[in-house]
Every structure is written in C-alpha cells, then in structure tokens.
Structure 1
Amino acid sequence: MPSTTPQDLQIKPRQPEFSLPSPWARHWHGDNAFKSHFFDAMSLLFPDGERFFIDSVRAYRDQVTDPQQQAQIRGFIGQEAHHSREHEHYSDALRASGYDLDYLERRLKQRLAFVRKHLPPKVHLAATVAVEHLTAIMADAILQNPAWLTGADPQMARLWRWHALEESEHKAVAFDLYQQVCGDVWLRRRAMLQSTFFFSLDTFKGLVHMLRRDGQLWRWRTWSDGLAWLWGSRGILRPLVKVYCDFYRADFHPWQHDNLQLIHSTRREFDQPAEVS
C-alpha cells in the first residue's frame, strides 16, 4: 500500500521552555483528582516507552534510501527524545509529591526488557506503530477539542498541547517504515490488541495508585464524574472509538485521518518566536 504521508511534511524537534507548576499542584486539572491523574498516569509511561520507540525505528533506518523519509525519521527520533526528557521532569514532580513511581514503572520496564531480549525487531516496530496510533488519535482530540484541557493549569495544558502537536506530525513515520520493512497486517493487528490492553492496564494502575494516595479511591463521586468525563454521552474518549478501529483495516494509513490544517494552525502557537526574528 503506498504511503499517504504528505511528502513535504517537515518534522522537527522543538525545545520550548516549560515551567511545571511550583509548588506542584497535585490536582492541576481544574482541581479534579481524576482528570489530573488520568493524564499523570499516561505521562509516566512515556519516558521508557518513547526510548523504546526510538530504538525500534533506529533498528531499520539503514534500510531507508529516500532522503525525505530519512529526514522524517530524524525528526521523529528528535521529537520523541525531547518528549521522553520532558516527561522525566514531569515524573520527578510526581515522585516528589509522594507517588510511588518505581512501583508503577516496574512492570513496564520488565515488559520492555522482555520484548527487547526475546522478540524480533519487527515485533518492536509493530508495537511502536500500534502505540503511535493510540497517541495520535488522542493527540488529535486534544488539539481539536479544548474540553480535554478546560480548567487545566496553563503550563500543563501547554506541555500536553506541544506533545500532541508533535505526535500528530510524526504519526505515520513508524508506520511507513513498518510497511517498507515488514507490512504484515496480522502482526500489526495483534500488536494493537496487546498494546491497547497494556496501555489501558498501566494507565488504570497509575490512576488507582494516585487516587489511593490522595484518599479519593473509594469516593463514589470521583469515579462517577470521572467515568462520565471519559465515556459518558459527551465523554472525551467516545468519539475516538471509530478512528481507533480504523487501524484494523488492511488498507489503513494514519494520514487517512488528515489533520494537516490543524497541525499548521497549532504550529503557530509554538513556532511563532522563531518566525519573528
């Protein structure tokens, strides 16, 4: 299947200055524990996960001869490296607030170590392709729908919007590489099923741990409001079901969900200082 990635798409790492709330606000998202920790729990997966993504792409980059694709791979690696670094700082703030991130990260580290040691590189890349789709559809929703971050601390909202922008920009880099070096549809589908399970499990585990530490785990209102925010009639995750399922089509490509205009409009928020000089 030919790539539908825009040929002139420039993928470049940005290094915007982020100042996390100081002192750290445990409930930085509208003073709401559930919303804050939903994002926190996802964030703590990124430092190790994105280093894994970088390695899975690097394993095959020497098979790419097209200069434009090589440039996009360099951009992907640079962006993911910066994401990993910023979310390390985010994790440091969570750890300093009393959350046991060593406990939360242990299983993920063990799982990634097993995959690296026992499974072939094409499986690593398939897993990367799957998780990149999960992050891409959530990133698109963050950029399209301000309700995802309504009431959030402005500094935290900016960090998540930056991450969302770059996930949207490079959403097909690993996919195009996978199609070139493997392209196995069934492996891709299996990787998505496994990635969805573990991503959901790890996020839920982090959410539960942080709510427990905050004394809110057994509050009915915390869960009823939180689950309505995620899956209610106007829940933020409900509109993502269809675009998630598109991944399982044999002819799927990430740029069939074309949000290039949204990317261009969001770039102005982060690229404007460079353009003024």
Structure 2
Amino acid sequence: MASTTPAGLKIRPRHMSFDFPNPLPRHWHSGDAFKSHLFDSMSVLFPDGERFFIDSVRKFRDQITDPELTEQIRGFIGQEGHHSREHLVYSDRLRALGYDITRMENRAKKRIHYTQNNFSAKRQLAATAAMEHITAIMADGLLRNESQMQGAHPMMRQLWRWHALEETEHKAVAFDVYNQVGGDRKILHRAMRMGTFFFIKDTFLGLAHMLKQDGLLWNWRVWRDGLTWMWGKEGVFRPLIKTYKDFFKDDFHPWQHNNIELLYATRREFDENTEPAVA
C-alpha cells in the first residue's frame, strides 16, 4: 500500500477564518517577548514555505496510482493552502507593529527560488518530506504539552493548535509520495540536514530582529529564560530530539510516531462530528 496514514483518517482542510486582534499584542504569548517572537518568526516562513511544499508534491501527483494517497494529496494541498492564507494575515499584523516582515519574507523567497531553479523536482520533494517531519514533531509537542501555549492570547492559541492538528493529519503525505516515486534515502537525509540548518537560521534571524525592534536584543534575562523554556530540563523542544533523529533510520516512516489518539482528541476542538480512525 502506498499510503502509511492510518486507514480511515480523512485529510480535509478546515475553512477557518481567524479574527486576528488588530493591533496584535506585541507580546501575545503570556507577555513574553521571546516566546511570542519565536512563534512569530516561524509563522513568517510558513506562507512561502507551504506554497513550495504544495508545488513540490503537485509535480508528482500524476505518478501516484493509489487512490487513497491521491485523495490525501488533495487534502494536503488544501490544508497547506489555508495555512498560507491565515499566516499571511498574521504577517500583516506583525508588519503593522513595525517589524521588517518583508525582509524576512524575501530571505525565504530567495532561498526557495534558488532551490526551484537549481535542484531536481525529486530533491525538492525530499526537502518537503524533511520539513514536514520537523513541523510534525513540533506539532505533536504543542498538542501534547498544554503548558506550551499557557498564557497565550486565546485566538493565537487556537491558530497554532489548528495548524498543529492539520500538520499531524498530513504528516506522512509528502513522505509517502517521495517513496512512491523512488526517492533515495540518502538524498532525503541530506535534505533534512540542509533544511534543519536553514530553518533554525531563518527563525533565529527573525527572532533577533523582533527582539531588537523591542529593545530587548541584548537583555540577557530574555535569552536566559527563553533558551531555558526551549532546551532546559523541562524545555518544550528537548523531548523532540529523539523523534527528530528517528528520521535518519533507514526504515523510518512518519506514522511510526503514532499519535492518532492525540489527533482525534484535538479534532474535537474543531470538528463537530469526528469518528475514530479504523485501526
């Protein structure tokens, strides 16, 4: 079978339309600049990144003969398209606060343009599969650990949980397409190393820019508390190290990290009628 997504799990975009506060509270996450701007800087990368993901998967859609995976590709494209739309509004709110969002966007656009013009379609798909793993494990951490969004503005909390839910639903689609078209694991692993480097770099540069605009770039307490929140003993990202490294195993596929029960529990926040997946 081409698809590794659990049988019965339907991937459908939710037509959300978030009422973003205007103006957006500058430190919307529990009054904490570091937490807020870490999420903000990741968000700025999403619209262009998700359009790249859609394009890379769409190039191989006609080569997929499994009707279930074909349907999942349709759902993947729909979900990523809606994510891009909502995060563009988010970016506009940040731009209105005086942050140089255009510069951050252009950095991502330039790299994507280079990738699309210099790498094969299969390598672009490998990059998508790799980045989808990163978003999937981060989504799992956000949904699993309620304290990660504790104190956040209610609408922003809902936005991020919605995004995390749908990233979890479609986490295997690009990976399965890559396998179906004969993707090489060595290329996949190289794409993960490169993607991780640039994701961390771009997120850090965005975070630093926003803290600088707030006059907090050189505030050591902000960095101490923020890095402890991320990587300390109880850090939100620390548990993700093992699941991240699993990607480099030769027999890995995303649903080896089976969080279907968490997914359905979260679905109840957004869907009125949710039926459990067939085992």
Question: If the length of structure 1 is used for normalisation, what is the TM-score?
Answer: 0.97
Q: Structure 1 vs Structure 2: percent identity of aligned residues?
A: 61
Aligned to 1:247, what secondary structure does the other structure show? Answer: helix
1:159 is aligned to: 159
Does 2:117 correspond to 1:123?
no
Matched, 1:205 2:205: yes
- Secondary structure in 2 aligned to 1:45? helix
Gaps of 5+ in 2: none
1:77-96 alignment to 2 at 5 Å? 77-96=77-96
* Distance (Å, rounded) in 1 between the aligned partners of 2:2 and 2:112: 31
Is the Cα contact below 8 Å between 1:16 and 1:270 reproduced in 2?
no
- The match for 2:39 is 39
- Following TM superposition, the consecutive aligned residue runs of length 4 or more in structure 1 with deviations greater than 3 angstroms are 1-4
Give the counterpart letter for 1:206 in structure 2: G
**Distance in 2 (alpha carbons) for counterparts of 1:124 and 1:168:** 21
Shift of 1:107: 1.9
CA gap 1:152/1:38 in 2 versus in 1, 3 angstroms: same
1:150 equivalent in alignment to 2:150: yes
1:22, distance to aligned residue in structure 2 (A): 2.6
Is 2:227 the counterpart of 1:227? Answer: yes
Q: Is the 8 A contact 2:2 2:69 kept in 1?
A: no
User: Is the contact made by 1:13 and 1:75 (CA closer than 8 Å) also made in structure 2?
Assistant: yes
Q: Distance in 2 between matches of 1:71 and 1:212?
A: 45
- Cα distance, 1:19 vs. partner? 1.0
| Matched-pair contact (CA < 8 Å) for 2:50–2:80 | yes
How much does 1:104 deviate?
A: 1.3
Measure, in 2, the Cα distance between the counterparts of 1:6 and 1:233.
Answer: 33
The Cα offsets for residues 93-151 of structure 1, whole Å up to 9 and x where unpaired, read as 00111000111122211111011111110011000000000000000111100111010
- Equivalence map 1:37-186=2 (5 Å): 37-186=37-186
Residue identity matched to 2:73: I
Is 115-124 or 50-59 further displaced after alignment?
A: 115-124
Aligned CA RMSD, in angstroms, stands at 1.4
- TM-score relative to the length of structure 2: 0.96
How many matched pairs?
Answer: 275
In structure 1, runs of 5+ residues without a counterpart are none
Distance in 2, Cα, partners of 1:145 & 1:272: 23
Asked if 1:245 corresponds to 2:249, the answer is no
Three-state SS of the structure 1 residue aligned to 2:114 is helix
Which of 128-137 and 110-119 deviates more? 110-119
AA of the residue aligned to 1:80: E
Write the letter of the residue equivalent to 1:76. F
Amino acid at match of 1:70: T
